[in-house]
Amino acid sequence: MKLAAAAPLALNLYQVDQFQGASIDSSGNLTGFGFIPPDMGGAVANGYVAQMVNDEFAIYTPSGALATPAVSLDAFYAGLGVNTYKQGGNPDISDPRIIYDPTSKRWYASAITVANAVNNTILLAVSKDSNPLDGFTGYAIASKKNQFADFPTLGVDHGAVTISSNNFNRKGNYTGSSVFSIPKAQLIKGVTNLSNVKEFNSISKIGFTPEAVTSDGSGNKTTILSNNYGASGLLVSTISNNAGKNANLKLTRTINHFSGTLTNAPTQPGGTTYDPGDNRISSGSYQAGNYIYFANSVLHGGSDQIQWGVLNAKTDSLIKSGFVSLANEDLTYGSISGNAAGTFVIGFNGSGSTTNISDYGTVCSVMSGACNSPSLLYSGLASNYNVTFGGPSNRWGDYSWTAPDTANPNNFWFFEEYPTTNGSWGTIITEVETTVPEPGSLALLLTGVVGLIGLTRGRRNRTTRLGA
């Protein structure tokens, strides 16, 4: 859907808080754990900010102080009695995600084990209550037989927790994708053994990287978005009766124009390019009220841009769509969230021949069908990030995260990556507000300067308008 040019939005991003999250040094040390890339998830609720990366789980206060010592994902899941297959002292858990569900008042986290070439394990952890410090219950789900379950995605809605994976055989060939629908009711009860888990493997109904939509509690079905593997378009599938083994999966719609391959390797001032990922929806999709928000990265107009879309949650039809671009930069690894009023935000990386890999955000409106010009959230510190692992390009990504603030529908949190040196990354966690702050904060906004460099854990920022 091509949109006519719209007037600038009345909405703007106002920075409320910003602090450093997990980081990895040039020797590969991530607070004692970890590896590259971060594969970052994040969630915010009840006075806690949770971040999961490869291979760390950290819980902060909203001002950036650690609420409890950070732990490795291996230690976290092993502490729940889940076999993590750790070998040789190396972290063997990857692709973490974490979501807070306001309807069940629980935190849900997922990941995979990576020690085995096939027959690996999908991991799930569910908090015992709304306080993530009170502990979790752990579960293990076997991958499809003789397959390696890769790039697990996580979605939580009114009735189900849905984990999906791309599957590869022992030779590394993609063989299809799987969707596991788990009744949320049994997870809330804290049962020790999962039952009524429904597995779907239909290649005609789900495509590459199926991503279940996380809901604010609205709706009565599970919506799944996936790339139409080997063809153009975005597949929209739904799972009805998603509370057990009677769940039913069907393909409801194909949105043909959502296609395109991310082929433009982004540049850096030092002249090195890096891995831009691909056009999958890598960083979650979110339903608020009747709006489903999603975003991916595509090659458009000669540069990598963030493509976004909004679906009608009742009909699965496309309401609005568009692109976010920035002159002389390639934009990658976008993540999205929004509210029931039609305001949504997108966070992403951007870089160019004169711009280090940096972190950006923008605010958009369903009503206008437009996004504001991107605002700089944090500038990358290195001009030539260069970690190839022997491959053809520098390893970056694989995803960022944007989370709603459950206490305020107009506030959102960005979890993003930036280069700290040519061989290491850091993460920055930023809270933004999309409406004009209260008068007490507004005075700070009018006199403040956007302070973006050199923040540390525990430092609280002034409320500052971004990208004025």
Query: In which residue are the tokens 């010009």 written?
Result: 373
398 preceded by cis ω (within 30°)?
Answer: yes
Please answer whether residues 174 and 201 qualify as being in contact, where contact means their C-beta atoms are separated by less than 8 angstroms.
no
183: closest CA among 112, 108, 247? 247
In a domain, 142, yes or no: yes
| SS3 state of residue 57 | strand
In a domain, 224, yes or no: yes
In a domain, 416, yes or no: yes
**Which two three-digit tokens encode residue 409?**
């529908």
| CA atoms 206, 208, 212, 214: torsion sign | negative
d(CA 149, CA 152): 7
pLDDT tens-digit readout, 210-245 = 999 999 988 889 999 999 887 778 999 999 876 667
18: closest CA among 449, 464, 467, 459? 459
pLDDT of residue 115: 84
E strand intervals along 34-187: 41-45, 48-53, 56-60, 66-72, 93-101, 106-113, 121-127, 136-142, 148-156, 160-168, 174-183
Query: In which residue are the tokens 């808080």 written?
Result: 17
| SS3 state of residue 271 | coil
| SS3 state of residue 183 | strand
Please answer whether residues 417 and 425 qualify as being in contact, where contact means their C-beta atoms are separated by less than 8 angstroms.
yes
Mean pLDDT, range 256-272, rounded to an integer? 83
d(CA 13, CA 10): 10
In a domain, 1, yes or no: no
Chain centre distance of CA 331? 15
In a domain, 385, yes or no: yes
Round to the nearest angstrom and report the end-to-end CA distance of the chain: 28
pLDDT of residue 231: 75
pLDDT tens-digit readout, 157-167 = 999 999 999 99
Residue 170: exposed, middle, or buried by beta-carbon count in 10 A (0-12, 13-18, 19+)?
exposed
Kindly list the distances between the CA atom of residue 170 and the CA atoms of 50, 60, 106, in Å, as whole numbers in the listed order: 34, 39, 36
Q: Which residues, in sequence order, are CB contacts of 191 under 8 Å at separation 6+?
A: none
Task: Assign 192 a pLDDT band (cuts: 50, 70, 90).
Answer: confident
Owning domain of residue 359: 13-466
d(CA 179, CA 296): 20
Rg of the chain in Å (alpha carbons): 20
pLDDT tens-digit readout, 283-312 = 999 999 999 999 999 999 899 999 999 999
pLDDT of residue 326: 96
Task: Assign 101 a pLDDT band (cuts: 50, 70, 90).
Answer: very high
pLDDT tens-digit readout, 381-410 = 999 999 877 666 788 999 999 999 999 999
Q: How many domains does the chain have?
A: 1
3-state DSSP helix/strand/coil percent for the chain, to nearest 5? Answer: 5, 50, 45
pLDDT tens-digit readout, 35-88 = 789 999 999 999 999 999 998 999 999 999 999 999 999 899 999 988 776 655
Percent of the chain with pLDDT over 90: 70
Task: Assign 99 a pLDDT band (cuts: 50, 70, 90).
Answer: very high
Residue 26: exposed, middle, or buried by beta-carbon count in 10 A (0-12, 13-18, 19+)?
exposed
Please answer whether residues 357 and 419 qualify as being in contact, where contact means their C-beta atoms are separated by less than 8 angstroms.
yes
Please answer whether residues 227 and 279 qualify as being in contact, where contact means their C-beta atoms are separated by less than 8 angstroms.
yes
d(CA 289, CA 269): 43
Mean pLDDT, range 94-113, rounded to an integer? 96
In a domain, 172, yes or no: yes
pLDDT of residue 462: 32
Torsion angle of the four alpha carbons 125, 131, 132, 138, in this order, in degrees rounded to the nearest 10: -20
In a domain, 3, yes or no: no
Name beta bridge partners: 234.
Answer: 227, 255
Kindly list the distances between the CA atom of residue 72 and the CA atoms of 37, 402, 430, in Å, as whole numbers in the listed order: 15, 22, 23
| SS3 state of residue 78 | helix
In a domain, 239, yes or no: yes
pLDDT of residue 36: 84
pLDDT of residue 109: 98
Q: What CATH number has the domain bearing residue 108?
A: 2.130.10.10
Torsion angle of the four alpha carbons 33, 66, 457, 11, in this order, in degrees rounded to the nearest 10: 110
pLDDT of residue 264: 86
The per-residue pLDDT of the chain, averaged, comes to: 87
